């Protein structure tokens, strides 16, 4: 356990702040807006068997930390329900909804993208309410990077071709951030 792991284990979030630990840092942001959370809630409600979706669950990246993606999608049958942070190898899809700030944009598009790819998560869905777009990225196992599989605007359907059957998401209820 590193010093940062110990700090994170005892860390108390200040009121009105959301904290995550990844890439060797504790990253704090103001609680997200309702428009931000609407996307995650929509995804969680749409996912059905054989998959399950959870919002705000920590994922275990070992020494790279325990980030909390906005949504994780997995097969519930594979999960030990007594764990606090989900083992990364169980994840089918991670979803990040980009928050308005520059740091959040950089972390979702670069820092987390690199971490999730390094740990082999098969699919990464980035939802960016600033322009009202979504981007589905596919993991390339040989190079541990993501490449774009598909992209669209809010209102268009998303299909994630998972091994146990395609996952279809409807983005019609998602809204861009105000200008």
pLDDT digit string, tens, across residues 117-176: 999 999 999 999 999 999 999 999 999 999 999 999 999 999 999 999 999 999 999 999
Q: What is the largest distance, in Å, between two alpha-carbon atoms of the chain? A: 45
The CA distances from residue 15 to 28, 36, 58, 62, 154, in Å, are 11, 19, 19, 27, 32
Q: What is the pLDDT of residues 11-50, one digit of tens each?
A: 777 776 676 677 777 666 666 677 778 999 999 999 999 9
Question: For residue 1, is it within any domain?
Answer: no
Residue 12 lies in a domain: no
Whether 59 is in a domain gets the answer yes
Is 25 a member of any domain?
A: no
In-domain check, residue 26: no
Distance CA 21, CA 164 (A): 31
- What is the predicted pLDDT for the residue at 141? 94
Q: Count of domains in the chain? A: 1
- State the pTM of this model: 0.85
Strands 59-60 and 65-66: unpaired
Task: Tell me the residue range of the domain where 119 lies.
Answer: 32-170
Q: Report yes or no on 9 lying in a domain.
A: no
Q: Looking at residue 30, what is its pLDDT?
A: 61
Cα 8 from chain centroid (whole Å)? 20
Q: What CATH number is given to the structural domain containing 144?
A: 3.90.1570.10
pLDDT over 90 (residue 67): no
3-state secondary structure of 122: coil
149, part of any domain: yes
Give me the mean pLDDT over the 106-117 stretch. 93
State how far the Cα of 46 lies from the Cα of 114, in Å rounded to an integer.
27
Residue 109: band (very low, low, confident or very high) from pLDDT cuts 50, 70, 90:
very high
């Amino acid at each position: 356990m590193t010093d940062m792991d110990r700090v994170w284990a005892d860390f108390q979030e200040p009121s009105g702040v959301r904290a995550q630990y990844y890439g060797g840092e504790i990253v704090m942001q103001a609680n997200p807006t309702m428009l931000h959370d609407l996307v995650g809630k929509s995804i969680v409600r749409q996912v059905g068997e054989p998959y399950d979706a959870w919002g705000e669950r920590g994922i275990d990246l070992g020494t790279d930390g325990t980030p909390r993606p906005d949504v994780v999608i997995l097969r519930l049958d594979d999960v030990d329900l007594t764990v606090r942070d989900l083992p990364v190898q169980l994840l089918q899809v991670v979803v990040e909804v980009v928050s308005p700030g520059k740091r959040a944009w950089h972390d979702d598009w670069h820092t987390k993208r690199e971490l999730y790819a390094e740990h082999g998560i098969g699919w990464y869905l980035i939802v960016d309410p600033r322009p009202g777009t979504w981007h589905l990225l596919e993991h390339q196992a040989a190079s541990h990077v993501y490449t774009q599989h598909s992209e669209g605007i809010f209102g268009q359907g998303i299909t994630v071709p998972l091994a146990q059957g395609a996952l279809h998401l409807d983005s019609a209820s998602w809204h861009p951030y105000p200008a």
